[in-house]
């Protein structure tokens, strides 16, 4: 390998890791998704299999402790459980994910070098390392670093001189990434079309068989457990105008996906247009592409042919983000994949600018804005972002629960993530539509032992006993008493 390439790689890794050092120990559990992944991983370490004891929605009536296959893709919890077996500490997980994204910087450099001159590939990797959105979300226990690592491995193997071995390795990496996020199917489609266009059909069986070696057992186990080939929670987002419908309402009256789409077609189109504008504004903002964005639209036909899988994967990933109308938009996380591939096209366009002064000015403004945002966000993560469990009323509540409840007691609260994270007890969302008619059904269906809630007339009857109230009065703990018939 070129000694210059090795030296530049070391520089990139050093820069990427050094700027992430201030994130070590910062708050990573504000995101509910992170707590849900951690919950599944901890059950794996405890020998309880792919299960979760955290129920945050009522799209189905599964018990509080249930199969994780129906909630999240299993790849990331499996990865976290492997790390937890080495050291059972969430901080250890955070450090590993920070290091993993520094490794991804090197993979970006190696991959971009296949399409760009060395200086431009270095610039692309540097922009990835310093990007403010990628940096700040890297503090979270979220699957993006692992997903990108596996995707880049698959692409690097695919773009090696084609041979049966490299295609098989690409398919295996693709299969592992599919266990992390199902959008991998878009890349599988792109790679397949690329092989067809280049008339290398004989590689297709190797790609699909190696991919299915990983993906097929996942679907088989899921079918055996849940009688569905795919039962990931996010699919329910296509049955309502907002995912909160299933989170805040006990027994929500929901229709099938086709019925909902037909009945709410005009709403869906309006919402998708709104999301399109919102995410395009994010992409052209300085924390993502800024001045680089317009340069992505001037590639040569040769370059487009070379990068068919990337164009398909990036475009369909972006379309999926726009199409998922019920999920709260998180452009800082969601736009990672489109950003990576638009960045490659932008750098190709930048390399064609004939004026060195203009090219330098674009690079200088982009890097300067990145660093300014980085400093602000690192300060925020280090100083301003206070964990929910550090609030006085939370500390009182957590201390009381650890002292007075049993490990198997199921607790309903408006913040089940906080309860799960701090007590490791089974936790369920407290619906907002409970009333005197459905409260008994809710309690009996999910075997609730305690309810945490602000004071409410609903709890002022013989079924509930007030045990503890935080000071200043914010939440009370109500014990559910046996029903008297």
- Give me the pLDDT at residue 10, please: 95
Report the pLDDT averaged over residues 173-189: 96
**386 pLDDT band (50/70/90 cuts)?**
confident
Q: Is the dihedral of CA 236, 240, 242, 248 positive or negative?
A: negative
Report the pLDDT averaged over residues 35-59: 95
pTM of structure: 0.94
Report the pLDDT averaged over residues 335-357: 94
**16 pLDDT band (50/70/90 cuts)?**
very high
Q: Out of 42-51, 156-165, 295-304, 388-397, which region has the weakest mean confidence (pLDDT)?
A: 388-397
Region for residue 313 given its phi and psi (left: phi exceeds 0; alpha: psi -120 to 50; beta: otherwise): alpha
Q: Where in the chain is the domain with CATH 3.40.190?
A: 389-480
Residue 219 phi/psi, 5° resolution?
-70, -35
For 400, other C-beta atoms within 10 Å of its C-beta total 16
Report the pLDDT averaged over residues 83-88: 96
- Give me the pLDDT at residue 237, please: 82
Cα–Cα dist 416/483, whole Å: 24
Report the percentage of the chain scoring pLDDT > 90.
75
Cα–Cα dist 407/324, whole Å: 37
- Give me the pLDDT at residue 231, please: 64
Q: Nearest-CA neighbor of 173 among 253, 244, 75?
A: 75
**141 pLDDT band (50/70/90 cuts)?**
very high
Q: Nearest-CA neighbor of 281 among 290, 270, 272, 269?
A: 290
Asked whether the predicted pLDDT for residue 346 surpasses 90, the reply is yes
Which residues are bridge partners to 51 per DSSP? 67
CATH of segment(s) 389-480: 3.40.190
Q: Which two tokens stand for residue 340?
A: 């990576």
Please enumerate in sequence order all residues whose Cβ is within 8 A of that of 287, keeping only pairs 6 or more positions apart, or say none: 131, 132, 133, 332, 369, 370, 373
Helix (H, G, I), strand (E, B) or coil at 479: strand
Asked whether the predicted pLDDT for residue 126 surpasses 50, the reply is yes
- Give me the pLDDT at residue 184, please: 96
Greater confidence, 385 or 425? 425
Cα–Cα dist 125/241, whole Å: 39
**Range with top average pLDDT, 204-218, 242-256, 447-461:** 204-218
Residue given tokens 């403004």 in the structure block: 365
Q: Out of 256-260, 387-391, 431-435, 437-441, which region has the weakest mean confidence (pLDDT)?
A: 387-391
- Give me the pLDDT at residue 47, please: 94
Q: What is the DSSP letter of 469?
A: E
CB < 8 Å & 24+ apart, contacts of 237-246: 237/324, 237/325, 237/326, 237/327, 238/324, 238/326, 239/59, 240/326, 241/267, 241/271, 241/325, 241/326, 242/326, 243/57, 243/326, 243/327, 243/328, 245/326, 246/57, 246/58, 246/59
Asked whether the predicted pLDDT for residue 121 surpasses 90, the reply is yes
Asked whether the predicted pLDDT for residue 122 surpasses 70, the reply is yes
């Amino acid at each position: 390998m070129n000694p210059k390439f090795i030296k530049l790689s070391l520089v990139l890794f050093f820069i990427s890791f050094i700027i992430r050092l201030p994130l070590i120990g910062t708050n990573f559990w504000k995101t509910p998704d992170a707590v849900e992944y951690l919950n599944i991983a901890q059950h794996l370490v405890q020998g309880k299999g792919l299960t979760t004891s955290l129920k945050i929605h009522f799209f189905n009536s599964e018990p509080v402790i249930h199969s994780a296959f129906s909630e999240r893709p299993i790849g990331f919890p499996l990865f976290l459980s492997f790390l937890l077996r080495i050291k059972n500490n969430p901080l250890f997980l955070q450090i590993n994910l920070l290091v993993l994204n520094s490794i991804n910087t090197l993979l970006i450099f190696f991959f971009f070098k296949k399409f760009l001159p060395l200086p431009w590939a270095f610039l692309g990797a540097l922009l990835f390392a310093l990007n403010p959105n990628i940096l700040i979300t890297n503090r979270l226990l979220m699957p993006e670093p692992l997903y990108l690592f596996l995707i880049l491995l698959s692409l690097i193997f695919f773009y090696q001189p084609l041979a049966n071995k490299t295609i098989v390795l690409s398919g295996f990496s693709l299969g592992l990434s599919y266990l992390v996020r199902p959008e991998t199917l878009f890349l599988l489609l792109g790679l397949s079309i690329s092989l067809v266009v280049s008339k290398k059909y004989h590689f297709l069986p190797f790609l699909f068989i190696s991919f299915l070696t990983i993906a097929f057992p996942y679907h088989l186990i899921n079918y055996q457990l849940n009688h569905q080939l795919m039962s990931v929670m996010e699919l329910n987002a296509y049955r309502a105008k907002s995912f909160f419908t299933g989170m805040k309402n006990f027994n929500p009256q929901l229709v099938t996906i086709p019925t909902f789409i037909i009945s709410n077609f005009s709403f869906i189109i309006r919402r998708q247009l709104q999301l399109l504008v919102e995410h395009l504004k994010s992409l052209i903002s300085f924390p993502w592409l800024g001045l680089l964005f317009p340069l992505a639209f001037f590639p040569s036909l040769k370059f487009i042919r070379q990068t068919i899988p990337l164009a398909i994967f990036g475009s369909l990933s972006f379309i999926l983000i726009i199409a998922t109308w019920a999920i709260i938009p998180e452009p800082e996380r969601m736009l990672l994949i489109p950003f990576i591939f638009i960045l490659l096209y932008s750098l190709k366009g930048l390399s064609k600018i004939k004026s060195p002064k203009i090219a330098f000015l674009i690079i200088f403004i982009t890097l300067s804005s990145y660093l300014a945002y980085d400093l602000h966000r690192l300060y925020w993560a280090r100083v301003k972002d206070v964990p929910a469990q550090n609030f006085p009323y939370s500390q009182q509540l957590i201390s009381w629960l650890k002292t007075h409840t049993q490990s198997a007691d199921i607790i309903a609260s408006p913040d089940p993530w906080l309860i799960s994270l701090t007590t490791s007890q089974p936790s369920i969302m407290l619906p907002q539509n409970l009333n005197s008619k459905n409260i008994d059904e809710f309690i009996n269906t999910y075997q609730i032992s305690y309810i945490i809630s602000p004071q409410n007339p609903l709890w002022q009857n013989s079924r509930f006993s007030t045990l503890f109230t935080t000071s200043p009065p914010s939440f009370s703990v109500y014990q559910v008493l046996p029903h008297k018939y």
